[in-house]
Chain A
Amino acid sequence: MTMFLIKKADVGKIAQELSREYEVYGPMIEKSSGQTFFDRVEDLAEINLAAPIPSNPPKAVVFPQMERILAYEYDRTKNAVKMEPDYRVVPKALVGLRPCDLAGMLCLDRFFMGQEFVDEVYLNHRKKMFIVTNTCITPFKQCFCVCTDSGPAAKEGYDLNLTDLGGEFLVEVGSEKGAALAAKLGLAPAGDPHLALKNEKVDKSIAMFEDIAVDSKAWISRVMNRVTTGFAKEEVWEYIGDQCFECGACTFVCPSCSCFNIADVSNPECAGCADRLRTWDSCSYEGYSRMAGGHNPRKPVEDRRNKRFFCKLSYSQMKKYLRPGCVGCGRCAWVCPGDIGLPNVVTYVRREITR
């Protein structure tokens, strides 16, 4: 593997170079609130590699909350339909992606593009992308990627991977695109001692989870077995379901959740014209799983919750993603009005096992 070094003061050059060819996205701190967002960067100086894990999942770049994917016009007199797909094929660079979020995006890749049917809209967002990951040398309060094998350092899927070694960043190259950029920047080569230092930093970070990542502890492996085989007791799901407010937040914030809704919105100013919107959706909503004819296979709310956790924690889903669906970012615990983020659910299912 090729490795380079870049001085802390120079790390901004990576985004600068990328901005010539790509629309740049990265972590920034919103001033009025102190909240981190992973968003389109207008001022490159705003990228903050030390910012805590972004509050929003970077999946929004490839899978926006609401996007127009098609415009159509029906001409009644000619009985003709005009359809215009609306894909934004713009090269995008993600700078400073956290490892868990990259793992989430890889799950989405497998969902949207890795099966029989390839999702054109997603593909068009995702192709021509440059990814720069950022190793977490300290975890954050709600993190548990060590339990889901998705951090605190990225292993695959990046073009460049950055690790803060103190005065400089280690730059690991993960692709030809990455190598080309490193060459263009004329970076100094790094050697084994630097890699050893990185590994030390990662081990230290893992050791810090005990004290820092206190909000979330999710021992996932035992629970996976239970969830997959359906042995988790019904009362546990009921206990969880009673606490669900059906807000949809856990799905929206999850870097690997892919539920969406399609809505055609007619234009009151143009008869026969409509926009087709794709919006985030959630399996926690009653209307989501409803089938035509009034049969809803997942009517009671505890069943709908069950589906989400099944999605995140079962082996069968793992086969699809080639990894657990949960990447340990802890966001769902943050936003859940019912206090049933994934770590708590894991605790409840485990409690049942140990009992």
Chain B
Amino acid sequence: MSYKGRFRVWRGDASGGALADFEVEVNEGEVVLDVLHRIQATQAPDLAVRWNCKAGKCGSCSAEIDGRPRLLCMTRMSVFDPGDVVTVTPMRTFPVLRDLVTDVSFNYAKAREVPSFTPPAGLAPGEYRMAQVDVERSQEFRKCIECFLCQDTCHVVRDHDENKGAFAGPRFLMRVAELEMHPLDVADRVPAAQDEHGLGRCNITKCCTEVCPEGIKITDNALIPMKERVADRRYDPLVWLGRTITRRRD
């Protein structure tokens, strides 16, 4: 079944822009990215849209559809009624470059702030041995495709540009959790999670989890466990006492 779908696509750059109206053919089985490509092919050859795999695996095509952060290639047209006007904008947390393309370098800067995997001294690559149950938690986080939709939706930075310096965002707090739970990582990442990566700003309202196209339980499995680890150190006198005593005994 084909129909003429109505679309509003944001066009512009950092100096300004507006929603542009399009009427374009929609065919059965298509996703929003297909329709944008048809707009490019037939009506607006200079429409900028970033994409790569069209399979939900590269994380390039992040945008907002009817105000909700989503992958363009994984949003089926069948979720809309033929009469709906579908609105597509770029991600609204990052600086816009052109049309649907944003500058996501904030995320790369945050990635670099997390110290890399630190194996025990003297253990060479190739000598790593880990039990599956020990790496399982970290493996869930490795499913991340770095689409940055979680970063885009997190109100800590979405609604507060001034927090961008102090807050790594869910994707990179999850990276800290991944390494902190890793059986062979010996770096102590808990104090930095709170002091440098801004874990305390997260108020566990779960929008990151809601939008993650990989279905990673970011809040339940990464952020809350990290908050509990911070509480162990900072806010739990019993654990603190226990640690002080055992350290003395060592």
User: Real complex partners, A and B?
Assistant: no
Q: Show the binding face of B for A, using Cβ within 8 Å.
A: none
Q: Show the binding face of A for B, using Cβ within 8 Å.
A: none
